[in-house]
Amino acid sequence: MNTHPLVTAALAALALSLGAGAASAGQACYRKVVMPPLYQTVTEQVMVEPAHVIAHPVPAEYRQVSERIMVRPQRVIAHPIPAVTQTVAEQVLVHPASRVWQVSRDAYGREIGCWVNTPPVYATQYHIVVVRPASAEYETIPAEYQDVSRTVMVHPASVEHEVVPAVYGSQSHQVMVQPASAGWQPIGGCGEY
């Protein structure tokens, strides 16, 4: 029953006043009247879901970059040039000229002494001479470079937090605003019942 409490209180006061008037008129019969409890529907806000935080992972961001790197450094290569030689013939003195005394016999057996001149003795001797000494030619080979691509991290992985507010809803329930009550209400003459 959804009757407002003020209306119910007014009805109860009216019944008591009628009962008092009937008593003064000499009527002695009453009827018991029971008033049920009075309820009222109350609507209130309740939390349906509490506030919470949702974590959204953000993956790392990568990018391809190109750069020029040295594959081989500059180097110098020596190319040897052999020496130039030549074989030279040279007359060398083996025995110098000399003069010796020689004694010999003639046809009659007589000794005859003579000075004999011996010419010098030469021999051809060969030896190698260096016409141009050994040397080297140096060749400079420049450094070699190459363009390569590699992956670099632009932004590291992170986490973004989203705050979700609490969710509220309406909830209705019955509350007693006045308990049940009982009283006596006068009725007509007793002979009628």
Question: Rounded CA gap, 81 and 115, in Å?
Answer: 59
Determine what percent of the chain falls in helix, strand and coil, rounding each to the nearest 5: 10, 65, 20
Question: Rounded CA gap, 144 and 116, in Å?
Answer: 83
- Amino acid at residue number 54: I
Residue with tokens 């130039």: 84
Neighbours of 38 (CB within 10 A): 19
pLDDT at position 190, please?
Answer: 60
Q: What is the pTM of this model?
A: 0.33
Which two tokens mark 152? 């670099």
- Amino acid at residue number 154: V
Q: What is the mean pLDDT of each run of 10 residues along the chain (193 residues)?
A: 45 47 57 88 88 92 91 93 90 87 86 88 88 92 92 91 89 87 78 50
Which two tokens mark 193? 């019942």
Which two tokens mark 167? 């969710």
What secondary structure, in 3-state letters, does 22-59 show? HHHCCCCCEEEEEECCEEEEEEEEEEEECCEEEEEEEC
pLDDT at position 63, please?
Answer: 92
